[in-house]
Amino acid sequence: MIADRNSWTLTQDTADLRRPAMPSKPVSFDAQPQRVTIDLARTAVVVVDLQNDFCHPDGWLAGIGVDISGAQAPIPVVAALLPRLRAYDVPVVWLNWGNRPDQANLPPGVRHVYDAAGEGNGIGSTSGPSGSPVLQAGSWAAAIVGDLDVEAGDLAIDKYRMSGFVDTPLDSVLRNLRVDTLLFCGVNADQCVLNTLTDAANLGYDVIMIEDAVGTTSPSYCLDATFYNVRQCYGFTTTSQALAQTLAT
């Protein structure tokens, strides 16, 4: 069990508060602004918003006329990378928009982002091509796209903001996993991925964005600025090829 990473050994008479040993699994690979070494035993991969409403032709985003090719681009990269990471017991955390049906925890500013004109076509609406309530927990709209495999040991966390740390158990889960390094994949790189990565860095995690495993429906200059800011202010960027090469050896 994942929870066993952070556990005590108990008997009727004693409590051993030492956590289980986690033998180091160091790997080094090319990154920017410099080459990095991480410990895979203390690493998790966070996959952000690769869900139907953002990435599927029948999803909400495509239904309002957005070109989703940028959101679809990282899907095959992530599909190829995750099995390599799972082989080293790196936890996979799926972080998706999954709102409450009553939207009781959503402030007006969040609802405005998805329904700027107040026409009722945003979060919770069933007016999209699929008829599934937009970004609602438990719906087809919020489900991970079918091109990606979710395995039994993976973790799924619903989020309700651009950052996956606000009003969610993400930080508690990661700390119980005893990880300090986070690899970031998903969409949109310049929005939810960047906001979650920024909060992770501010909370003390080491952060690495995998350039070809993220995408965006924004203009290309937004992606360029995102990579620059990650390297300049928060952590590192690398590629799936650089990471896969070191995992293979």
Q: How far apart are the C-alpha atoms of 114 and 9, rounded to whole Å?
A: 48
Give the CATH architecture of domain 22-248.
3-Layer(aba) Sandwich (3.40)
Residues 40-77 have pLDDT tens digits of: 999 999 999 999 999 999 999 999 999 999 999 999 99
Q: How far apart are the C-alpha atoms of 240 and 95, rounded to whole Å?
A: 19
Q: Where are the domains of the chain?
A: 22-248
State the angle between helix axes of 75-86 and 240-248 in degrees (0 to 180), rounded to the nearest 10: 30
Strands 92-97 and 155-159: parallel
Question: What's the per-residue H, E or C state across 34-79?
Answer: CCEEEEHHHEEEEEECCEHHHHCCCCHHHHCCCCCHHHHCCHHHHH
Residues present in the chain in total:
249
Asked if 220 contacts 226 with a C-beta cutoff of 8 angstroms, the reply is no
Residues 133-168 have pLDDT tens digits of: 999 999 999 999 999 999 999 999 999 999 999 999
